[in-house]
Every structure is written in C-alpha cells, then in structure tokens.
Amino acid sequence: MLMHQLLLDAAERRPGKLAFRWVDRDRSLSYAEMVAAMDRMAGALHSLGVAKGDRVTVFAHNGMDYLVAMFGAWRIGAIAALVNVRLAEDLDYYLNDHRPRVVIYTHDMAATVKRAAAASGVAHLVCMDGPQDGALALSELLAADLPPPPDPWDESAIAHLSYTSGTTGKPKAACLAHEPTVRACRCIAERLRITERDVSFGPTALSSSYQLVGNLLPPLAQGCSIHVMGRWAQGTGFDAIDAAQATVLVGNPILLDEVIVESRRRGRPPGRLRFVLTGGGPMPIAAKRAWRDELAIPVVESYGQSELGGFVALGFPELAPSEEVLTRIGPPLPDKEVRIVGPDDRPLPAGEIGDIVLRGGFMSGYWGRPAQTAEATRGGWLRTGDLGIMDRDGAVTLRGRQSELIIVGDRPWYPRDIEEELCGQTGVRQAALIGVADQAVGARPIAFVTIDAGATVDTDELKRAIAPRLAYDLAPLQIRVVAELPMTPTGKISKADLALRMTGAGAAAKAAT
C-alpha cells in the first residue's frame, strides 16, 4: 500500500470528517478537502518538472502546507525530504546530499535557503508565504489548480528521506519505501488499539520520522482526526490538547515531562487522554510513574530509529501493573523479527545483554551510501547499534547505544542505569552521563543533571543516594548541576555536545597553564 492511499481510503469512508488541524493558526481540512489539496500540490509540483524519484525538500515550521507538500510529493512518486529548521546552519549539507529539484520553505528562512540552494542545483524555490525574489509563491501555484499526472503506483519506491540524528559522523538519509512503512504503521495502530474515535495530537517537529510513524500514518490508517502544533509551550500546549479533546498524545520525554508539571499545577491532565506515546529518546522511570500513579494515564514507550519507518518494539496502552513492566519497552511488532545477538551474531538466551538486530521491514538503504548501507544491513539484518535484553515474555528492554557505553577501569557502564537512578531522586529533572578520556581509569564518568524550578540538590548526597541501587563503584563518578542540557532537533539530549563542552573546557584549562 502507498502512504497517501491511507488518506484516499479514509476520504472514501468519511469524506466530511476532520482529517488534519494545524493548531497554531486553527486551520483544518476534512478528509475530502485534504485529498483535493494533495492533488493541487501534486499538480503544482508536476508543473515544475518534478517526477517519480525526484526529491522535494520541505524546510519549514509545522503547518498545514507542510503536510500537503508531503502528500503531494508522494502522490506523484516523488520523495519527501524533510529538514528541521533548527538545522539552518547545515542546510547546504542536506541539499547537497539529496539534490532536490524543488525546495519549499517559509519566508523567514529565505536567506538560508537561497544561499544553500545556489550550490546544489535546485531548479525551483517555492515560498509558503507569498512570492519572494527568486522564489515562486506556493499559494499561486495551488490556486492554478493544475491537474496531477497519473499515480505511478509503485509500492516499493522510496517515499521519504529520514535523516539520522548524526550523533556519530554526518547525518545519513534513510530511504523509507511506501509498502514496508505503511505495513509497519498499520501494525502500530493495532498495537495501540487506535480506532476512528481517537483524536491524535503531535506537537513535535514534522521533520522527525517519529512524527511520521507516531502521529501521522497510524492514526491515518484508522481514519482519526490528527492535530499538529508548531510552537509548543507548556501552558498553551496544555490548552491546545484540551481544546482538541485529544485521546492520544505523541511527544518526546521532555515535552511529556512539561505536561506532567502543568497537570500538577492545574490539578488534572489535559483532554481525554487514553494514553501517551513517548519516543525519540528514553523516558525516565520517574516520569513513567508520574503518568501512571498521579494521572492514571498509560505511557507507551516506543523504540525506533530513522532507519525503520516503524518501531523495533512497542508497549500496550495499559497501566503498567509492576515495576518490571514499567522499566521495559515491550515486545516487537508483528511486521519485524527482532533478535538479541552476541559478537558472533548468534542469538543470546533470554535476559542476556547483546546487540539488537532485526529483519522484516526497514529502510531500502542510506541515500548515496552503498558501503554504509551494506554494513548496517549485513546478512539481511538491520544492525541497530543498540544494546538490549529480551526477557522470557519476549519484551525488549533497551540498555543504550553501543557508542555511548563507557568503560571505567575494566568495567562497562551503561549510562541509562545511572541516569534512571538520578532522575528518580527528588528535585532532579533530567540526567545525562558521558565518559571523558582519563589515563587513570580509561573513561571518567560525568553525570550532568538539571533540577526542578525552586529545588536545590547536593551532588554528594545524590551520589550517596544512588550508590546502593547500582552495581557500579561510583567513586570516580562526578555529578554536575547545569541550567539546561543541550538538545538535538528531535528532542534528544545531545551527549555529543556535552562531550564537546568537556573537551573544550579541558583544552581551555591546559591553555591557561
């Protein structure tokens, strides 16, 4: 099945139902109206020479035109390449990487787009907010109501370029094809028990593949009403969820933590939430407990990555009955076969930590990177780069990235262990553990924490409090309180930036001596 076929099918069943709403401008389209808008966009792109396999870059803030551009590209067999506006300084890298025919952007990004496009062979620039020097006006193109070409109808074709976060090296574009992505998202909808009565709300960036497989395609497969939001803030976001009467909230751990804080302030959760879906990074156990014990709303933790077009594992929309269930993610989805393997690629027994690999539906490859594709998909299995456990119930527990493992002395430290315990301490809001090269112990572990407003913490007391709960000798651990942690555009804590911060501090100290 094609991604946009989900829209067509829902429009056939419920043409007058609200399909998408852009919260910030209170703009809505019914399913029938969204199909018409998709066809107008497809006709406009076709008139600019966009054909099957061409890339259409969207570089904009969340909005209705953003959604229409995605569907319009899919409708004519083109590839939607989405770049987060927070990556403006690196836009030339992204455009040179996938070489789009057309770039659609918002007016405030004009200077950045023109500079980057000049060196990457872009045929047309299209501004969402009216004509600009050197750019066409999207409104005028759509008003022409040009007919779209016949749908090439290739389920195996690439539809979406999903960029990795670039935590190790330059970001790579994972090529997501129509059929395996739609199959994965229909499985997600079934696991989450989504029905046409649900109202989904996703305030994170549309450029993230997490939005695609969390807030867009699974609800679309069931004919739900879907809300997107461009400019999230704790109070106004709570109000928007309330106004939408959302039953499903799709966010990252940072955003969902803000909802907890606002819910405490108001004495109730927003909307009619049936469950919240968290992803994009690990959610602290303390936050999961707050949703369960204070708000009585299930948290479903997803585990995926840009290369999937789906999830490796996913829980159920139920209140966790025990701490054991609360700490794990959940079982794999039925479209994928997931294994925990050792260094020799042999499956490990239940409960042993190993590499997480899978097959049965993932990217076609990295755009323009055959060698890296071959390495990541060696033997027909996607190598996730993550370490985890599968228990006897078949549920996956994620221990962390292989690249983030810290060797202290001769002992491996799993950062999530320390981070979870720190987040469980009163006053601690976020925690991130990194290792800094140290001749004495190999890597010196440093934990950075942020604290709740008005709270105070003593780092020595924190260390003493978590020590009995961990199987590590915490003598070399340093804990530092910071005002905020650096974040990636997808809402993850950027440990690479923390490491650079420490490297820079070390270099400055050496220079001073």
Residue 333 forms part of a structural domain: no
Whichever domain contains 186, its CATH number is: 3.40.50.980
Q: Which backbone phi and psi does 79 adopt, to 5 degrees?
A: -110, 125
**Distance from C-alpha of 166 to C-alpha of 353, rounded to nearest angstrom:** 25
Record the tokens describing residue 504, joined without a space: 């820079």
CB-neighbour burial class of residue 158 (10 A; exposed 0-12, middle 13-18, buried 19+): buried
Residue 20 forms part of a structural domain: yes
Domain count, the chain: 2
Question: Given this model, what pLDDT does residue 509 score?
Answer: 43
Pairing of strands 354-359, 337-341: antiparallel
**Distance from C-alpha of 69 to C-alpha of 64, rounded to nearest angstrom:** 9
Residue 501 forms part of a structural domain: yes
Per the CB < 8 A criterion, the answer to whether 338 and 358 are in contact is yes
Determine the residue type at 212: L
Q: Which residues, listed in sequence order, are joined to residue 276 by a DSSP beta bridge?
A: 249, 299
Task: Supply the angle between the helices 415-423 and 459-466 in degrees, to the nearest 10.
Answer: 110
Q: Which residues, listed in sequence order, are joined to residue 387 by a DSSP beta bridge?
A: 355, 400
| CA 22 distance to own-chain centroid | 19
Residue 46 forms part of a structural domain: yes
H or E element that contains 95? helix 91-98
Record the tokens describing residue 177, joined without a space: 């094809």
Largest CA distance in the chain: 73
Is the CA virtual torsion 126, 128, 130, 132 positive or negative?
negative
Whichever domain contains 429, its CATH number is: 3.30.300.30
Among residues 125, 131, 146, 122, the alpha carbon closest in space to that of 39 is found at 146
Per the CB < 8 A criterion, the answer to whether 214 and 206 are in contact is no
Question: Given this model, what pLDDT does residue 167 score?
Answer: 54
**Distance from C-alpha of 364 to C-alpha of 318, rounded to nearest angstrom:** 34
- Can you give the pLDDT of all 513 residues of the chain as single tens digits? 999 999 999 999 999 999 999 999 999 999 999 999 999 999 999 999 999 999 999 999 999 999 999 999 999 999 999 999 999 999 999 999 999 999 999 999 999 999 999 888 899 999 999 999 999 999 999 999 999 999 999 999 999 999 987 555 689 999 999 999 999 999 999 999 999 999 999 999 999 999 999 999 999 999 999 999 999 999 999 999 999 999 999 999 989 999 999 999 999 999 999 999 999 888 888 899 999 999 999 999 999 999 999 999 999 999 999 988 998 999 999 999 999 999 999 999 999 999 999 999 999 999 999 999 999 999 999 999 999 999 999 999 998 888 889 999 889 999 989 998 998 899 998 899 999 988 877 889 999 999 988 899 999 999 999 999 999 999 999 999 999 998 877 677 888 889 888 876 554 444 444
Residue tagged 């994009």 (tokens): 280
Question: Given this model, what pLDDT does residue 281 score?
Answer: 83
Residue tagged 């933590």 (tokens): 257
**Distance from C-alpha of 354 to C-alpha of 347, rounded to nearest angstrom:** 9
Per the CB < 8 A criterion, the answer to whether 302 and 277 are in contact is yes
SS3 34: helix
Give the start-end residues of each E strand in 87-164. 102-105, 124-127, 136-137, 158-163
Among residues 143, 126, 144, the alpha carbon closest in space to that of 135 is found at 126
Per the CB < 8 A criterion, the answer to whether 443 and 478 are in contact is no
Residue 354 forms part of a structural domain: no
**Distance from C-alpha of 296 to C-alpha of 289, rounded to nearest angstrom:** 9
Residue 315 forms part of a structural domain: no
Record the tokens describing residue 109, joined without a space: 């990004």
Residue 264 forms part of a structural domain: no
**Distance from C-alpha of 104 to C-alpha of 127, rounded to nearest angstrom:** 6
Residue 344 exposure: Cα atoms within 13 Å on the Cβ side: 3
Measured CA distances, 55 to 51, 58, 103, 512 (Å): 9, 10, 9, 50
CB-neighbour burial class of residue 354 (10 A; exposed 0-12, middle 13-18, buried 19+): buried
Pairing of strands 428-438, 442-451: antiparallel
Q: State the residue range of the domain holding 442.
A: 405-512
Q: In what order do the strands lie in the sheet with 382-390?
A: 337-341, 354-359, 382-390, 396-401
Structural Rg of the chain based on CA atoms: 23
Residue 53 forms part of a structural domain: yes
For residue 367, the tally of other CB atoms under 10 A from its CB is 21
